[in-house]
Amino acid sequence: MKKVPIKIKVNGDWRELAVSPGDRLIDILRDQLDLTGTKEGCGEGECGTCTVNLDGKAVLSCLILAAQADGCTILTIEGLQKGSKLHPLQKAFVSEAAVQCGYCTPGMIMAAKPLIENEPEINDSKIRQHLSNNLCRCTGYDQPVKAVLKASRERKENNDV
């Protein structure tokens, strides 16, 4: 099948790629760009494990065609840390024991990022509403929700990232 040229900015770098019309965003991230931190849990938009940020918004990379992302800015879990400095969400997920198997973790963190950046007043209930598309089978959600709350506070205190 004829390939389509696209240009996307991924984790800070513009990339020119040739994609098949049927390729989903997750396919090119994982297969062409080797960004395997983004996971596929269902391929149907029901589990949230493939969540990435597209132009600053949390999106499901299994429901977006690669060609639709042409010209867009994509952030994946691999692009979150700055050098060796972890993002407050990454730090909090480790310190709050919010990671077990870790398969839902990248999606959960990428879903939480726009929330803590855009929502001035964050609380348990808002986090739960916002993360309701992200399934987790290990933790029971308590520790991940606490981690997001902690990261949001840290971000506010340091006024960074």
Amino acid residing at 114: P
Per CB under 8 A, 136 contacts another protein:
yes
The 9-48 contact track toward another protein, x by CB under 8 A, reads ---------------------x---xxxxxxxxxxx-xx-
What three-state secondary structure class fits 48?
Answer: coil
Per CB under 8 A, 97 contacts another protein:
yes
Per CB under 8 A, 142 contacts another protein:
yes
What is d(CA 115, CA 57) in angstroms, rounded to the nearest whole number?
Answer: 9
Q: Residue 45 CB, nearest distance to another protein (Å)?
A: 9
Per CB under 8 A, 100 contacts another protein:
yes
CA distances to 2, 17, 49, 67 from 111, rounded to whole Å, are: 33, 26, 9, 22
Q: For 69-95, give one letter per residue: b (16+ CB within 10 A) or e.
A: beebebbbbbbbeeeeeebbbbbbbee
Site residues for another protein, 64-93, by CB under 8 A, read: 76-78, 80-81, 86, 89-91, 93
- 21, 57, 102, 156: which one binds another protein (CB under 8 A): 102
Question: How many chain residues bind another protein (CB under 8 A)?
Answer: 54
Which C-beta is closer to another protein: that of 30 or that of 150?
30
CA nearest to 142, candidates 86, 83, 81, 99? 99
Task: Please enumerate in sequence order all residues whose Cβ is within 8 A of that of 85, keeping only pairs 6 or more positions apart, or say none.
Answer: none
Write out the residues near another protein by the rule CB under 8 A.
30, 34-44, 46-47, 49, 76-78, 80-81, 86, 89-91, 93-95, 97, 99-106, 109, 127-129, 131-143, 145
